[in-house]
Amino acid sequence: MTIEILELKSELALVYKEHTTNAKSDKVIEKGINMVSAYLEELGIEPSGTPFVAYLNCTKDWSKFDLEVGFPIAESVATKDGMFMSKTHEGKAVVATHKGSHRSINTTYGKMFEFMDEQSLEFTGTFFDCYLTDPAITPTKEMQTKVIVPV
């Protein structure tokens, strides 16, 4: 796995946001992706990138946090039903691609945090998972998730 420090540009995004816990996060992610995807389809808008999840305001034990679940889009749209316009991260971040099941993604995060310690980089309390492959149709071993940790 390659871990890099990159300077990222933000993209406009339509997202669904909910405060949740680890135990409920999978259901919130599924709900958000389905909701935003259906609304973009209703509007006739193609996303400009892959779906992502932003984990915000994380507690130190990772038990509670806010999730923004959505898609990058080219221009702002009217919002409804708990959706709103947001942006993806802009600025310096540690980036890696996780391969395999999302259940083993903590291994990738662990390696990224070790790298950050070695580089004396500070964690901001926010991180992103960008789904490069569709978990609904991609075999588990072939799944890819871009992991972004702003620093």
Mean pLDDT of the chain: 92
Confidence (pLDDT) at 123? 85
Task: Indicate whether 26 pLDDT > 90.
Answer: no
Instruction: Specify whether the CB–CB gap between 37 and 147 falls below 8 A.
Output: no
Percent of the chain with pLDDT over 70: 98
The Cα angle at residue 52 between residues 120 and 118, in degrees rounded to 5: 10
Q: What is the band of 32 on the pLDDT scale with cuts at 50, 70, 90?
A: very high
3-class secondary-structure state, position 33: helix
Confidence (pLDDT) at 11? 95
pLDDT tens-digit readout, 71-118: 999 999 999 988 999 999 999 999 999 999 888 898 999 999 999 999
CA distances from 77 to 29, 43, 47, 110 (A): 21, 9, 12, 37
pLDDT tens-digit readout, 45-72: 999 999 999 999 876 667 778 999 999 9
pLDDT tens-digit readout, 33-48: 999 999 999 999 999 9
Q: How far apart are CA 83 and CA 133, in angstroms?
A: 23
Confidence (pLDDT) at 101? 86
Under CATH, what is the fold of the domain 4-150?
A: Multidrug-efflux Transporter 1 Regulator Bmrr; Chain A (3.20.80)
Q: How far apart are CA 103 and CA 11, in angstroms?
A: 27
